[in-house]
Amino acid sequence: MSGPRYLGFDTLSLHAGQRPDPATGSRATPIYQTTSFVFDDAARASGLFSVGRAGYVYSRIANPTVSVLEERVAALEGGVGAVATASGMAAIHVAISTLVGAGSHIVSSRALYGGTHNLLAYTLPRFGVETTFVDPRDPQAFARAIRPETKLVYAETVGNPRGEVLDIEAVANIAHAAGVPLVIDATLTTPWLMKPIDHGADIVVHSLTKFIGGHGIAIGGAVVDGGQFDWEGSGRFPQLTDRDMGLNELDFAEDFGPSAYIMRVRLEGLRDFGASLSPTNAFHLLQGLETLPLRMRRHCDNAQQVAEFLGAQPAVEQVTYAGLPNHPDYALAQRLMPKGCGAVFSFVLKGGRAAGRKFIDALQVFSHLANVGDAKSLVIHPASTTHARLDADALARAGVSEGLVRLSIGLEDPQDLLDDLVRALNVSQK
Amino acid sequence: MEIVYQGKTTYVQTAGYGLDPAKPTVCFVHGAGMDHAVWTLFVRHFSRNGYNAIAPDLRGHGRSAGEPLTTIEACAQWLLGLFDALKLGPVAVAGHSMGSLVALQAAADGGERIRALGLLGFGYPMAVGAPLLDAARANDHVAVDMMTIWGHDFGAQIGGHQIPGLSIINVTKRRLEAARPGVIYADLNACHTYAGGAEAAAKIQCPVTLILGDRDRMTPVRGAREFAKSFSRASIEMIPACGHGMMEEKPEQTHKALVKALGV
């Protein structure tokens, strides 16, 4: 039986969260660059503070420009709501800290962005939160690592930089059977390539700095709540299922139903940790988000061409891209991401570290920097930069070799990228 | 809070506040496939401003056990019995959509026990189209999609709402998905077959306020306006650019209308 249609992805990318400004008619989202909002009267002030009225109080907790971005990201991911944060790492921190406390345990994929690995392996243990890292390609490894005090399972949709594709449904089922949510970083895929919530993930985090912004001018992050996890049934989260006298006497699950988690992220996470996104950065990120579908098509097309090209070069030992048939997760990637496998991947140059340095220095179109997801093509050597905190064993477990080069393929004319790579590959082998 | 009522666990939201016999009471009744949480902002407001505020989960809904009741009349009797079980004095009742029919019938049956009546997203008769009824009977997700999309103004899919960061379309979808199998059909069929509205309206002596969205696609305002003439004391609060889901589409305007309709 067919029903009415929801608005499509491209339309939501442009419109979700914003209607023309009622005061001025402004078509573009205005930047509400203000710290605070005037109350109409004492009764409304009281209602806002006691979570009995809807509206804005203070931009650390909520801001109209930021809210447009939050609603848009939530709509694109199929979530019940989102909270935008000052950075992707702030999103990861607040997503996790809403769920854990001293004595809690996390089970995480070991294929992680270096900053996330650092948070889980070194920083959170100082606060009494321990993490067990497991192979993301072995869903049962997640099951074996779950303990009574485990509060969440954490993974990335596609690992960075080796491109491990997570079997989201399998891992989500394991997490749910144990009564814990699956929190997943979908930065490299964006909702255009895949919506993790549709596959069973409960909470999605993003670095908006990357493909969603796309322009490389603003840092930001977001937490999205799928609204499907059974907090009451789990029994592991009293902060969501008991009335909290320190937080406006709210019982989040009882009072907010499907939006329980994201309401606590906002009302506790932003209130107490304060890693809120600035309205101006939200505005910048919205400009990028409007063209996400157009850009992602070109990112993926260019990445596929470059990956296939590199795979045929004698100077290249190995290309690790889930869009190539020789990648171990190729079949899974085709199922989860039929529109493309993203634009971040790695390859190993013959000649190791020395060749890698020559290669990077010879590139002229690619920019050597510590970011991914820019409209411009980027390159970096993880072993000496993003993964430098990892010791030799951890580096090996993360699948990062000394000759590994990570590329983030941009929107340039693909032939110009190939020409740049040919030139640099030739230099690297001299 | 949870009580055992008619032998079944029954949930009544009070937002953490107990019930005080000295205070006036307001009660909020949810619509088809929904539960108490659609009323949280309003329960919190009234409970912190001198009222007993309650939002029960109708039988078989949300946190209340049992099979759903299958007629509006049965729901109304259940509601009045709940007031007795909670030892409440006169109650101002607001209902949304199916809940508005329950509130209407309860006001007719309850006489002076009902102090004021608020009818949100109201229409009578509340006929439900065959495609929606058929999908609901089959527990087909299409029923959720129809109720989600038609249950809001078109602009709700765009968003820009007063509750920061929430996608109210997706919140509604999740609420309906959480309804137990058969509940949505039982509710919609109860609305569709309810024939006692005119008789009920003729009995009601308390003040009645119809709180309507001017872009309501589920219960268009034309029918509600006409039916309002059936009451001895009725007024209409029209919320502009609002569909059927006014509590989340336009919570601030709904708040003001409810305060006016239910306040002492």
ipTM of the shown complex: 0.96
Note whether A86 and A69 are within 8 A (CB).
no
Q: In 3-state terms, what secondary structure has residue A406?
A: strand
Identify which has the larger pLDDT, A2 or B249. Answer: B249
Q: Could you tell me how far CA A223 lies from the centroid of its own chain? A: 8
**For tokens 């508005």, what's the residue?**
B100
- Residue B8, H or E segment: strand B8-13
Q: Which residues of A touch B255 (CB under 8 A)?
A: 47, 53-54
Helix then strand then coil, in percent of chain B rounded to 5, is 45, 15, 40
DSSP label at residue B29 = E
Q: Which of B11, B140, B142, B166 to mutate to test the interface with A (most CBs of A within 10 A)?
A: B166
- Which pLDDT value is given to residue A1? 66
pLDDT at B18: 86
Q: At what angle do helices A64-77 and A279-289 cross, to 10 degrees?
A: 40
Where chain A has pLDDT below 50, the residues are none
Give the CB-side neighbour count of residue A293, counting CA atoms within 13 A.
9
| Number of domain units in chain B | 1
Q: Which two tokens stand for residue B89?
A: 């004095």
Predicted local confidence at residue B194, as pLDDT: 98
* pLDDT of amino acid A424: 96
Cβ of B159 within 8 Å of Cβ of A72? The answer is yes
Q: Is pLDDT of B261 > 90?
A: yes
Q: Which residues of B touch A47 (CB under 8 A)?
A: 45, 255
Smallest CA–CA distance, residue B163 to chain A, in Å, is: 5
* Spatial contact of B103 and B115, defined as CB atoms under 8 Å apart: no
Looking at residue A169, its amino acid is E
Domains of chain A and CATH, by start: 9-289 (3.40.640.10), 292-428 (3.90.1150.10)
The pLDDT score that the predictor gives to residue B98 is: 98
Minimum-distance CB partner of A255 among B40, B158, B175: B40
- Residue A245: half-sphere exposure toward Cβ, Cα within 13 Å: 1
Window 216-235 of A: residues touching B by CB (8 A cutoff) are 227-228
**Which of B42, B159, B170 is nearest residue A227 as measured by Cβ atoms?**
B170
Domain that holds residue B224: 2-262
pLDDT at B180 over 90: yes
Q: What is the pLDDT of residue B244?
A: 97
Residues A51, B41: C-beta atoms closer than 8 Å: yes
Summarised one tens digit per residue, pLDDT across range B17-76 is: 889 989 999 999 999 999 999 999 999 999 999 999 999 999 999 999 999 999 999 999
pLDDT digits (tens, 9 = 90+) for A357-376: 899 999 999 999 989 999 99
Decide which of A391 and B224 is more confident: B224
Answer yes or no: are the C-beta atoms of B224 and B60 closer than 8 Å: no
Determine the pLDDT at residue A388: 66
Q: Per DSSP, what are the bridge partners of residue A205?
A: A185, A223
CATH number for B140: 3.40.50.1820
pLDDT of residue A401: 80
Per-residue pLDDT reduced to its tens digit, B120-160: 999 999 999 999 999 999 999 999 999 999 999 998 989 98
